[in-house]
A and B are shown apart, each in its own frame.
Chain A
Amino acid sequence: MEAATAPAVAAFHVTKKFPGVIANEDVTFDVRVGEIHALLGENGAGKTTLSNILTGLYRPDEGWIEVGGIRSEFHSPRDAIAAGIGMVHQHFRLIPTFTVAENIALGSGHDPIGGRFDLAAVEDRVVELSRSFDLPVDPRAKVWQLSVGEQQRVEIIKVLYRDAKVLIMDEPTAVLTPVESEVLASTLQSMARSGRSVVFISHKLGEVSSLADRVTVLRHGRSIETVTESDVSALAALMIGREVESVSQSSAGIPQRVSSTSPTVLEVNDLRALGDRGLVALDGLSIDVRAGEIVGVAGVAGNGQRELVEILAGLRRSSSGSVVVDGENLEKGSTRHPIRLGVSYVPQDRMGTGLAPDLTIAENLALKKYRYRPVARPPFIRQSVIDADGRALMEQFDVRAPSEKTPTRRLSGGNVQKVLLAREMSNSPKVLVVASPTQGLDVGAVVTVHNLLLEAAQSGVGILLVSEDLDEVMALSHRIAVIYEGRILDVIQREHADVHRIGLLMGGELEETA
């Protein structure tokens, strides 16, 4: 192969196994010079493992990598960087208390650690790079002061600073507002024009089809095909190996409006609270949910969603304002009171907050009723009742596991979420608060979760759905509330919902009208 036409980077027959899992199997694909190449696949399809191999974090069990037509072996990420491959991770690896320039210099060979170095030169270079690729960022700003979108720019500049020819981005738009995503797209395009190559990992069909020159589809760890296809439904079919039941179809049965005579089960009035860092997180937030209604809270992460749901679950204290559940005031700072009033909560951090990973499925299903009869016969608990209840719920909610005694940490993401939903729905709640219920789940599990939520609403539960996935909010909600900087900017009826307007609201670009 001649160097001129050789792909910027290519993988050949790459296989990577982990105990019990084959993450990649015989994956072959190539990225051309100056191309935007998408790696498309469901969660668990092996995208992240593949990118970790390309960046030297893992070594393939079989197969090899070529950079510019030359076979290369990476023993560490350092080797990959030296070969011109840089990665922007989904979770940024920046030091919050350092400035932008310091973060960029760190590990670049111009380390500030252990001696003097020319920070001014680094800053100049950062300014230069940010100009030529339209990545505006102040090199002297501290990273903690930056928005998520700005931090991502820092990560991109960090890679460019190291003279990367290939930029790998893991789910780059997952944390961005629609407006920021558009800016990112034009940045990537200008990088491609400058002769660099971009590999971006995604499971969002829309952005893949609009942005990528070519798409490699991964399914169950295998590279299925590399296509120039831009038709969304064709890509979807390749990705999941069948036609997608779109989210909007799955929710086709829901009524447009909930009757105005339906009682209000959750009423949040003028709620104010501080976040973990002592900054104002909720700034006079009000919202209400009727029985049988799904109210979606749309917004970019970090605008008060976490604080809101934690207050509803009693995990956080509000500084002022009230929460009324079915006519009764919620006590502040009690986690038992919301449970008693019938507030169920499916947290975003399923394993860290919702479940005890070392306990069995059955025990996790009993987590909110272990204190009461018939599970308890004080001071004892009855393991036989826990196990029998667990088996019944696993059956009802189709939790797939070897037995009810399997520790929950062994479950896949979809089954974890089913366990959580089973527990939170089986105690006949009045209000169900769900945070990012389908984040990280594969398409099949997403549909299951959505159907469970719709069934619960139909049976009269009021649901507050907090999600960063706008498609999900739009598909499931009767009303959509847009949260921005701790306030609800607007509440929009489902039939009047307009993605463009919601996107602008999410980005704080529109004044509130509520």
Chain B
Amino acid sequence: MNRFRLRLEPRSDLPKWLPWAVPVGSFLAALVAGAVVLLITGQNPISVYARIVDRAFLSQGAFTGTLISATPLLFTGLCAAVAFRIGFFNIGGEGQFVMGAIFGSGIALKMGADAPGVLAVVVMVLCGALGGGLWGLIPGILKARFRTNEIITSLMLNYVAAVIATYLIFDSESFWRELTGSGAVFPKGKLIPDVAWFPKLDLGSIIVPFGFLLGMVIAGWLFVLQRKTRFGFEMRVVGGAPTTARYAGMRPTRVVIAVAALSGALAGIGGAVDVGNFRHVLDPKGLQQSGFGYAGIVVAALARLNPVAVVFVAILLGGITNAGYALRGPDFPAGLVGVLEGLILFFTLGGEVLARYRISRTVRLGESDKALEPA
């Protein structure tokens, strides 16, 4: 009897199409697995998917909503992509996003209603970058100086950031908190003045939030930074071969710290954009529920850490999220969007194995004494 066995062998070379085929294939596999879940719950997967596509991209105003959902994912996706690229596993996008929101809303409130609009927007973005950047710097320095595991430190700092935001609105009479009107009864943040509301670009059928445009520009800038600059060259060497980087006269600890701060700043801008473009208020509960930081890791993984691809993946996942909001109701499972996102991440990470290894079928030696060629 011949027994077939599957085994993984490292790929000796990578076909050009493979880096693209694997995430696309993983995504499709996730849809198939999601369909199984839907069938079990008594839904028709085809019609559910058709409705998702419709409410995410096709119907009136759908794409606008999708871009709104995609904007925070775009920033947290870039945050994860740039850090993971050098092997700095920043799981702290969540907390850096919150710090960006705290800094961004704080400066908007401070500047008040008389600040010139353009200045208000620019200063908010910079302060968001500062807040997130400082928050990202902490695990960066700890890693570079003391070899602390950045996964743990950045993750823990997420909770710290969340608690700070909650404290500012619920547990103190801070500068951020609205203390008049209904705010005297129900704790909530102060609304930032109108001048600090980020503009929106009206293209007729689609309204593009300024934050999304900013994210696209930053994604392009990151692409150039990584591919065309000395710093990008150093990032590539440090990421793949830190010992070699040191040998070549680079300073890996500085590169790691700089990238940690950059990564945090990207999430921080996301937080400021979230306040400026959509919420207009520091909203700790809303931030916690949305979990943009963690979703950003999914985005970065699906985009294979390519900043330009992050833009498209953010739109895709933003669309699913958006459709989830729109379709939520008695006939639509509320947890489906979460299940789908989870499946997509699961299959993407699983698919990475196929990108690096090939599956070969071997046959155990049988009576015939001859091994068959792998099919």
Binding site for B on A (CB under 8 A): 18-20, 59-62, 64, 73, 313, 315, 335-336, 339, 345, 347, 349, 352-359, 363, 367-368, 370-371, 376, 378-381, 383, 410
Q: List 9 A-B contacts (CB under 8 A).
A: A20-B12, A59-B365, A315-B246, A357-B241, A358-B241, A359-B236, A363-B236, A379-B229, A380-B228
Which residues of A lie under 8 Å from residue B246 when comparing CB positions?
A: 315, 335
- Say which residue of B247, B358, B365 sits within 8 Å of A353 (CB atoms): B247
User: In the complex, are the beta carbons of B12 and A62 less than 8 A apart?
Assistant: no
User: In the complex, are the beta carbons of A381 and B228 less than 8 A apart?
Assistant: yes
User: In the complex, are the beta carbons of B244 and A355 less than 8 A apart?
Assistant: yes
Tell me the chain B residues, 337-370 only, with Cβ under 8 Å from chain A: 358, 362, 365, 369-370
Closest to B9 in A: A19
Closest to B250 in A: A335
Question: Contacts A64-B369, A352-B244, A356-B237 known; A379 to B249 CB distance under 8 Å?
Answer: no
User: In the complex, are the beta carbons of B237 and A359 less than 8 A apart?
Assistant: yes
- Besides the contacts A367-B248, A381-B232, what 14 more A-B pairs have beta carbons closer than 8 Å? A18-B12, A19-B11, A335-B246, A339-B249, A347-B247, A352-B241, A353-B243, A353-B244, A355-B244, A356-B244, A358-B240, A359-B240, A379-B230, A410-B12
Which residues of B lie under 8 Å from residue A376 when comparing CB positions?
A: 230
Expressed in whole angstroms, the minimum distance between the Cβ of A145 and any Cβ of chain B is: 27
Q: Is B326 an interface residue (CB 8 A)?
A: no
**Interface class of chain B by DSSP:** mixed
User: In the complex, are the beta carbons of B233 and A381 less than 8 A apart?
Assistant: yes
Query: What is the bound-complex CA distance between A17 and B10, given in angstroms?
Result: 13
Query: What is the bound-complex CA distance between A376 and B243, given in angstroms?
Result: 22
Which residues of B lie under 8 Å from residue A73 when comparing CB positions?
A: 365
Which residues of A lie under 8 Å from residue B244 when comparing CB positions?
A: 352-356, 367
User: In the complex, are the beta carbons of B233 and A363 less than 8 A apart?
Assistant: yes
Expressed in whole angstroms, the minimum distance between the Cβ of B115 and any Cβ of chain A is: 32
User: In the complex, are the beta carbons of B237 and A378 less than 8 A apart?
Assistant: no
Which residues of A lie under 8 Å from residue B371 when comparing CB positions?
A: 60-62
8 A-B pairs with the lowest CB-CB distances in the bound complex, closest first: A336-B249, A356-B241, A358-B240, A367-B248, A19-B12, A20-B12, A356-B237, A335-B249
Which residues of A lie under 8 Å from residue B232 when comparing CB positions?
A: 381
Query: What is the bound-complex CA distance between A383 and B241, given in angstroms?
Result: 20
Query: What is the bound-complex CA distance between A427 and B88, given in angstroms?
Result: 32
Query: What is the bound-complex CA distance between A355 and B365, given in angstroms?
Result: 41
Q: Is B13 an interface residue (CB 8 A)?
A: yes
Which residues of A lie under 8 Å from residue B247 when comparing CB positions?
A: 313, 315, 335, 345, 347, 353-354
- Say which residue of B230, B236, B365 sits within 8 Å of A356 (CB atoms): B236
Query: What is the bound-complex CA distance between A20 and B13, given in angstroms?
Result: 9
User: In the complex, are the beta carbons of B241 and A368 less than 8 A apart?
Assistant: no
Closest to A410 in B: B13
Query: What is the bound-complex CA distance between A73 and B366, given in angstroms?
Result: 11
Query: What is the bound-complex CA distance between A116 and B230, given in angstroms?
Result: 60
- Say which residue of B233, B243, B369 sits within 8 Å of A370 (CB atoms): B233
Closest to A20 in B: B12
Which residues of B lie under 8 Å from residue A370 when comparing CB positions?
A: 230, 233
- Say which residue of B231, B250, B358, B362 sits within 8 Å of A379 (CB atoms): B231
Expressed in whole angstroms, the minimum distance between the Cβ of A353 and any Cβ of chain B is: 5
Which residues of A lie under 8 Å from residue B243 when comparing CB positions?
A: 349, 352-353
User: In the complex, are the beta carbons of A356 and B240 less than 8 A apart?
Assistant: yes
Which residues of B lie under 8 Å from residue A367 when comparing CB positions?
A: 237, 244, 248
Expressed in whole angstroms, the minimum distance between the Cβ of A416 and any Cβ of chain B is: 12
